[in-house]
Amino acid sequence: MASHDVNLIATHCERALIIEGVASRGMTSSSDNLTDAEPNLALRVAGIVVVAPSATYHPWNAAVMAGIRSAGYEPISYGGEHNLPAPDKKQVIVTHDPVLVTRINRDWTVAILGDITTSAAQCAALFGVDRRGGLQIASLILANASLLPENTTYIFEDVLGPTVRIGPDIDVVVPTTREEWDPAPAEQAYQEALALYRDWPQAPQSSARWAPDIFRFDDRHPSIPGRNHVIELAGRARALVYGPYIALRPGRWSITARFIVNEDAAAHRLRFEWGYLGSFASFTQSPGRAGEFALTIAHDWREPAAAEFKIIVSQGSLGGELEFLEAEIVREGDSAPTETAVAENLQETVG
């Protein structure tokens, strides 16, 4: 991942990951691309177990550590520290950070995937951020995990028996407990947002509904009281809707966004942008009449990166309203051989 997408800083001897203003501890450098980086051959362990954050994250960690010890290996828990203990062939690293796989040579790699829909809540708890920040961190972990080496063994907890083998001779008791959290105000929206990672690595195409609750709205011109996703256009040129900064894995991704404009807003030129920092597809068009509209933009992700969709009013306005309804994203396949972007004209969906 390019260093300008997610910036790393060091503070109080900890790594801090900044994702659109959300700080979290325990992630390694985003500048290492999982497909390109060469592991340090001087550092070798028996294996690496990546446990993706979910409601069973802590039970899985405890069970994996116990299984490693029972098999005669030394478990090393890694949460993003600057330095690891000197690795040797009798150690197994347990981590939530898939980027670590690029740094250390190992005999085998296992990724344990729990209930993906609970990843945002677990990341919020792990890193001390709100649920929206947890969603962004969870998506980055899952985007990087989707690029693990082809010989990675994926373990899905919903199809397991009482035990599972995670290495050549390491058996782990499958946990039966899970954590619970108080539902967030937009809990269903956070769960739906990560559905795009539910089917990997088996399915090449993924999709998810992104509800308006996970997007951000122009806070200098608040939504109309009682109508949370209706924005008053009066004011200067600006972004009306933007976000949600959920990391997508490489490939061609399209977004179909739906919104409503009233008669006063129909003549305004609206600019639509879709992509990630430094790489966007965009087009500008006026709705022309009041009604419900949909637009689709496709763009290539060359690396795991936080997705941003924007609706921008291009000029100052005296009035009008826009209501943002929802967006649907679809991974249409691998990236095209050359950088391309496709945008369709606005289509009226309701007469």
Q: What is the CATH number of the domain that holds 95?
A: 3.40.50
- The number of domains in the chain is 2
> Which pTM does this prediction carry?
0.79
Q: Determine, yes or no, domain membership for 108.
A: yes
**Residues 6 or more apart in contact with residue 325 via CB below 8 angstroms:** 212, 229, 258, 259, 260, 292
Confidence at residue 181, expressed as pLDDT on a 0 to 100 scale: 83
| Candidate from 72-76, 84-88, 93-97, 309-313 with smallest mean pLDDT | 84-88
By the 8 A CB rule, do 247 and 145 touch? Answer: no
Residues 24-43: what's their mean pLDDT? 42
Residues 165 and 20 in one domain: yes
Residues 16 and 150 in one domain: yes
Residues 219-237: what's their mean pLDDT? 75
Q: Determine, yes or no, domain membership for 196.
A: no
| Candidate from 1-15, 91-105, 252-266 with smallest mean pLDDT | 1-15
DSSP string, 5-18: TSEEEEETTEEEEE
Measured CA to CA, the distance from residue 305 to residue 144 in angstroms comes to 9
Q: Determine, yes or no, domain membership for 103.
A: yes
Q: Residue 113's beta-bridge partner residues?
A: 156
Confidence at residue 22, expressed as pLDDT on a 0 to 100 scale: 35
Q: Determine, yes or no, domain membership for 289.
A: yes
Residues 241 and 313 in one domain: yes
Confidence at residue 114, expressed as pLDDT on a 0 to 100 scale: 86
Whether 35 shows a pLDDT value over 70: the answer reads: no
For the chain, give the number of residues.
351
Give the residue among 61, 81, 166, 73 at the shortest CA–CA distance from 122.
Answer: 61
Residues 99-122: what's their mean pLDDT? 87
Whether 116 shows a pLDDT value over 90: the answer reads: no
Residues 244-271: what's their mean pLDDT? 93
Residues 79 and 215 in one domain: no
* Positive/negative CA dihedral, 281, 282, 287, 288: negative
Question: What is the rounded average pLDDT for all residues in the chain?
Answer: 80
**How open is the CA angle 64-67-71, to the nearest 5 degrees?**
140
Residues 330 and 242 in one domain: yes
How large a percentage of the chain has pLDDT more than 90? 46
Q: Residue 283's beta-bridge partner residues?
A: 272
Residues 157-176: what's their mean pLDDT? 87
Whether 33 shows a pLDDT value over 80: the answer reads: no
Do β-strands 291-301 and 251-261 pair in parallel, antiparallel, or remain unpaired?
Answer: antiparallel
Residues 92 and 216 in one domain: no
Confidence at residue 342, expressed as pLDDT on a 0 to 100 scale: 52
Q: Determine, yes or no, domain membership for 101.
A: yes
Confidence at residue 147, expressed as pLDDT on a 0 to 100 scale: 84
Residues 291 and 142 in one domain: no
| Candidate from 47-51, 157-161, 231-235 with smallest mean pLDDT | 157-161
Q: What residue numbers bound the domain in which 260 lies?
A: 204-350
CATH of the domain at 290: 2.60.120.260
Q: What is the pLDDT of residues 307-326, one digit of tens each?
A: 999 999 988 888 889 999 99
Q: Determine, yes or no, domain membership for 33.
A: yes
Q: Determine, yes or no, domain membership for 275.
A: yes
Whether 204 shows a pLDDT value over 70: the answer reads: no
| Candidate from 9-23, 172-186, 277-291 with smallest mean pLDDT | 9-23
Residues 314 and 166 in one domain: no
Q: Determine, yes or no, domain membership for 189.
A: no
* Alpha helices, DSSP H, located in 184-309: 187-193
Residues 213 and 337 in one domain: yes
By the 8 A CB rule, do 101 and 149 touch? Answer: yes
Residues 284 and 346 in one domain: yes
Confidence at residue 21, expressed as pLDDT on a 0 to 100 scale: 35
Whether 183 shows a pLDDT value over 60: the answer reads: yes
Chain mean position to CA 21: 15
Residues 19 and 165 in one domain: yes
By the 8 A CB rule, do 104 and 182 touch? Answer: no
Residues 129 and 231 in one domain: no
Measured in degrees and rounded to the nearest 5, phi and psi for residue 288 equal 90, -25
Whether 30 shows a pLDDT value over 70: the answer reads: no
